Amino acid sequence: MIKVIQLNCARSYEWTFAALETGVEPKADVVCLQEPPREIGGSVISHSQFEIRKTKRVWTAIQRGSGLVVDERTDSSRGANNYVIVPDVRKRGEKITRIVNVYDPRDTQSGESQAQEVNWERVILQGRTVLAGDLNAHSSRWDLRCHAQQNATFWEGVIDENGLEIGNDGRSTHCWTRADHEGKSVINLTLANRPIMTWTILADDHATRSDHEVIDKEVDADGQEEADHKRAVGWNLDALTAKDLEPAEKLWRELAKERAHLDAECTEDEVEHETAWCQEAMSSVLNATAKQIGICARSDRW
């Protein structure tokens, strides 16, 4: 099980630190923050309980002592590295879970969105991805109060094309006040193609005074052997031709080109994590280029 907390901090130092403190008490493995403060003039936020990976618009904090091995995939968020962080995390004996932290604002002048320029089919691992973020998207699919769709078509497409489930339970995640008007909406979403075991909004003692709610959820991280048993699928490699191998080799090179090379100084955890990544990446390549076949106890594996 991996516990994740998410919050839009509205560039507030106070709310950012409050969110990290909120992650300490329930022992969150990962804290996903959108709109963190701008660290200028030597003002740097750190926390003794977390290792924080930072870009301009999103921070992902990993709890020290959580046992997570982390591999940040900057290649997957290429073109929007300030708005999307893509870490692969894994505890010993478990498969990789990709926890994507995203903030999707519109440029006030051009109306463009850098987060939407990402190749989301490449970002989302089949059956292994949780997306947590402020999408600034209004849709009746996740907010029954919504009467006007806004910035929703793109994200609805990402959900449908990648088999993502909406983890939210319909409660508002954003309370806003503009001039004399107040309103509530659901723009902070949790999307996943793996089981979300719990999803809730933290209140009272966990309140940060942000106009966005603190979201707390737990996602299933199945064991390696159990996951392999559930997905007893192989590939017909004998049927591959030289023409089939060309796109397979191209996809493998694309996935592996920014991987760090292991050397004599690497740790046991780094070797184990790289082994798990190779298995996931090779499965992705074969799924895309080879015919899948079912495997039974008497099947020839080779």
Where do the domains of the chain lie? 2-219, 232-294
Token representation of residue 263? 């050397």
User: Which pLDDT score is estimated for 258?
Assistant: 65
Residue 131 identity: L
User: Which pLDDT score is estimated for 38?
Assistant: 87
User: Which pLDDT score is estimated for 218?
Assistant: 93
| pTM passes above 0.95 | no
Tens-digit pLDDT profile for residues 9-47: 999 988 898 889 888 876 899 999 999 998 876 678 899
Neighbours of 31 (CB within 10 A): 28
Quick one: what percent of the chain has pLDDT higher than 70?
A: 88
Q: Is the pLDDT of residue 97 over 60?
A: yes
Q: Is the pLDDT of residue 108 over 80?
A: no
User: Which pLDDT score is estimated for 226?
Assistant: 43
User: Which pLDDT score is estimated for 215?
Assistant: 94
Tens-digit pLDDT profile for residues 50-69: 999 999 999 999 999 899 99
Q: Is the pLDDT of residue 287 over 50?
A: yes
Tens-digit pLDDT profile for residues 222-265: 654 444 444 445 777 877 888 888 888 888 887 777 677 788 88
User: Which pLDDT score is estimated for 192?
Assistant: 94
Q: Is the pLDDT of residue 209 over 70?
A: no
> Which of 211-220, 239-248, 263-272 reaches the highest mean pLDDT?
211-220
294 confidence band (pLDDT: 50, 70, 90): low
Token representation of residue 296? 């039974």
Bridge partners of 235? 292
Phi, psi of 253 (to 5 degrees): -65, -40
User: Which pLDDT score is estimated for 176?
Assistant: 72
Q: Is the pLDDT of residue 178 over 80?
A: no
When mean pLDDT is compared across 51-65, 173-187, 210-224, 279-293, the lowest value belongs to 279-293
Q: What integer best gives the mean pLDDT of the chain?
A: 83
Tens-digit pLDDT profile for residues 134-165: 999 999 999 988 888 899 999 999 999 999 99
User: Which pLDDT score is estimated for 25?
Assistant: 75
Contact 27/3 with Cβ under 8 angstroms?
yes
Question: In whole angstroms, how far apart are CA 184 and each of 60, 181, 201?
Answer: 26, 11, 14
Q: Which residue has the higher pLDDT, 53 or 208?
A: 53
Question: Pick from 232, 160, 173: which is nearest to 200 by CA?
Answer: 173
Contact 138/122 with Cβ under 8 angstroms?
no
The domain made up of 2-219 has a fold known as: Deoxyribonuclease I; Chain A (3.60.10)
User: Which pLDDT score is estimated for 231?
Assistant: 43
Q: Is the pLDDT of residue 182 over 90?
A: no
197: enclosing H helix or E strand: strand 196-202
106 confidence band (pLDDT: 50, 70, 90): confident
